[in-house]
Structure 1
């Protein structure tokens, strides 16, 4: 199944591995740092150096690194065009990595000058990535709804980083005044919903049918989803800056509706599948969709009825770690073996015995990892909501153990 996806447009280079493996190391590190942030979760005060560091390590170190690495390969697979410049990709990796390391140092020790300096370097790294991806997509003879989702995600990423560097500069020069709060919430919205969610949607339209061997499913829903997303995002952002709560609630309801349409589309794909038994990685990715559904449905209610800051924090946590991070874990179970198998063994077919893709990952260990992670995520979410320190520490212990095993499992692929 997977080797067929590797066309002449998709040679496997070392570039995706640089990003993916750096992302896995970041994933392990953030699960250590989150221990230091548990007192902040207990107090309900999530605006501090430790959790700022953890949040950016999660989204820029773990999720972004993996997303970039995957895109340098999967854009070619999904859109059937070669990457515009692999050389630029290497340059971008080193610029971005240096920027992130400095940025995380600036957040942890709260050094505004460091935040601005390395924030600019991080922005440059992301801009190089956006340029490379946009040039790649522009080479397509005709745009598809998948490419439109990816382009929209890149636009929201661009908006997110511009707001981010503005917020970092505000730490040093304090020029934003009353609009700081509005920009802060917009930064979160465009990052986790506009960038990561649309990106996962876009690639899922290609990977879910590919992984489940599905054919004959409808494509009407995904073509309607993107305009709905933009309407919901614009309404929510307008509500944030005008102070009209009804606009925020309506906007989030529209975004939630879009998420439900995605679920219905995935259901349609799975009903048309030929592969009856789904492997543990794909099952994890589906479970992540359900994790994301809960906060999507509850965000409008929480804000509309002012149900409290603690509930909002727990929902944001579940959305970032249950939807975005858990999705990435599930898809990496498929992506890493595919990349490594194609690079190492594809030329040996017919000339030597080569392992199967499923032999590169330990499915039994993966099942333990993903179940442990799910239990930890649910426990941590409840711990935030109920302010239970013992449950938070226990849940984070489970998550750290799972992260250690996940890191081992991924790196073990390269010994096979």
Structure 2
């Protein structure tokens, strides 16, 4: 994979309308999730907690990952995207299936889960197929591409387990088997968060941290990459299988490898930020939160997981560390990256061919810095508040306040990104949500 600070050919990816469509839909799903969270914080509706998890992980994080990988894997790897048409199809399958999932959870019409699940699984499998066929032409794989390949495998496994879970509501698949529904659900969540999502995030951070800090890898950085690449995927596999089978010792070995590896990634990111050769930006500021959150999550989670790694209530960490992982790590790594992806893609499409002919803005001048500062403060306050509430079992009103702060931050972020698109893009918001399926022939990219 080529360093993304080199000259790259963005034409290898899909038209910029496709990743921007993914981003807009992902942020819209996050807004829906925050509205639902605020409405159900005191009085849950149906299985609203599961609905919120899927909106955040499959919706906001998952759809963002789909758009980012579809755009940047071809660019980074120096190969053409396998199919532009599939990149348009995948997101609507996922969104339609996810909305059906959320409706089924809220109404407790669980027999409908596998119907919506069919669309959801189909969307993720189209994405996996498209990116896998693209990566198949990139040789040799570097550390980022290896992470992506393993993550694609994790997407397949997690969607298969999730679909089986949805069928179990009507067909009772696990009644006579040695594995239990709780074990399957725990393995599904483990592979989803620590496999598909975090493997993608870690692989991307190895490229993005160097790009945004302009700090080259030193001996310690290279050692961290080698150790993490060996230990983390094995750890996720052992932890997932241990939880699936209820094997405590196996899961505990996975715990040490997973927690230790993610702590090393936190150290890697922190060292990059401390050696940064660039000015502080919204991206770096949010990545700093990610580094601290990774280290904090590891410290809080290790004793809880070692004591009982198969507890279904602590699949993502302890009571305090779970929101630290979801909001502080996954949330802020996406928030930070969006402040580069959105203006960069628009800049390439709108201004790149005007350099030397007329004044053009820099990428970081395309969004409102005041709104960027405001959403950072609100999102950080909301995250810290939710971690604190979970740690000390605070009153419900405190959780309401923290949820509203985080939701307000999401709203400000959405406004800032929408204004960026409105002011600088040659596409309208409507055309971005419904990009044409006629994106040129796939024959020239599938040879």
Question: TM-score if structure 1 supplies the norm length?
Answer: 0.92
Q: Shift of residue 154 of structure 1?
A: 1.0
Q: Shift of residue 270 of structure 1?
A: 3.9
- Structure 2 CA distance, aligned partners of 1:221 and 1:378? 28
User: Could you tell me which of 19, 23, 27 is aligned with 1:20?
Assistant: 23
Residues 400/3 of structure 1: CA separation in 2 closer, same or farther (3 Å cut): farther
Match of 1:255 in 2: 258
Match of 1:264 in 2: 267
Q: How does 1:121-132 map to 2 (within 5 A)?
A: 121-132=119-130
Match of 2:189 in 1: 188
Q: Shift of residue 347 of structure 1?
A: 1.5
Match of 2:367 in 1: 361
Structure 1 residue 71 corresponds to structure 2 residue 72: no
Residues 256/216 of structure 1: CA separation in 2 closer, same or farther (3 Å cut): closer
User: What is the RMSD computed on CA atoms of the aligned residues?
Assistant: 2.4
28-37 or 262-271: which moved more? Answer: 262-271
CA offsets, 1:367-411, max 9 Å, x none?
221121111111112223314211101111111111111110110
- Structure 2 CA distance, aligned partners of 1:18 and 1:221? 35
User: Could you tell me which of 140, 143, 155 is aligned with 2:141?
Assistant: 143
Residues 391/319 of structure 1: CA separation in 2 closer, same or farther (3 Å cut): same
For the 8 Å contact 2:154–2:192, the answer to whether it is kept is yes
Structure 1 residue 394 corresponds to structure 2 residue 395: no
Structure 1 residue 282 corresponds to structure 2 residue 288: no
Structure 1 residue 119 corresponds to structure 2 residue 117: yes
Q: Shift of residue 4 of structure 1?
A: 4.0
Match of 1:243 in 2: 246
Local SS of the residue matching 1:396 = helix
Structure 1 residue 411 corresponds to structure 2 residue 387: no
User: Could you tell me which of 341, 344, 350 is aligned with 2:347?
Assistant: 341
- Structure 2 CA distance, aligned partners of 1:264 and 1:300? 16
Q: How does 1:311-350 map to 2 (within 5 A)?
A: 312-350=318-356
Match of 2:440 in 1: none
Q: Shift of residue 267 of structure 1?
A: 4.0
Match of 1:44 in 2: none
Q: Shift of residue 110 of structure 1?
A: 1.9
- Structure 2 CA distance, aligned partners of 1:2 and 1:338? 13
Match of 2:107 in 1: 109
Q: How does 1:43-82 map to 2 (within 5 A)?
A: 49-82=47-80
130-139 or 163-172: which moved more? Answer: 163-172
- Structure 1 CA distance, aligned partners of 2:103 and 2:408? 25
Question: TM-score if structure 2 supplies the norm length?
Answer: 0.86
- Structure 2 CA distance, aligned partners of 1:182 and 1:213? 44
Match of 2:431 in 1: none
- Structure 1 CA distance, aligned partners of 2:217 and 2:283? 23
For the 8 Å contact 1:232–1:252, the answer to whether it is kept is yes
Q: Which has the higher helix share?
A: 1
140-149 or 219-228: which moved more? Answer: 219-228
User: Could you tell me which of 88, 91, 98 is aligned with 1:90?
Assistant: 88
Q: Which runs of 5+ in 2 are unaligned?
A: 425-447
Local SS of the residue matching 2:216 = coil
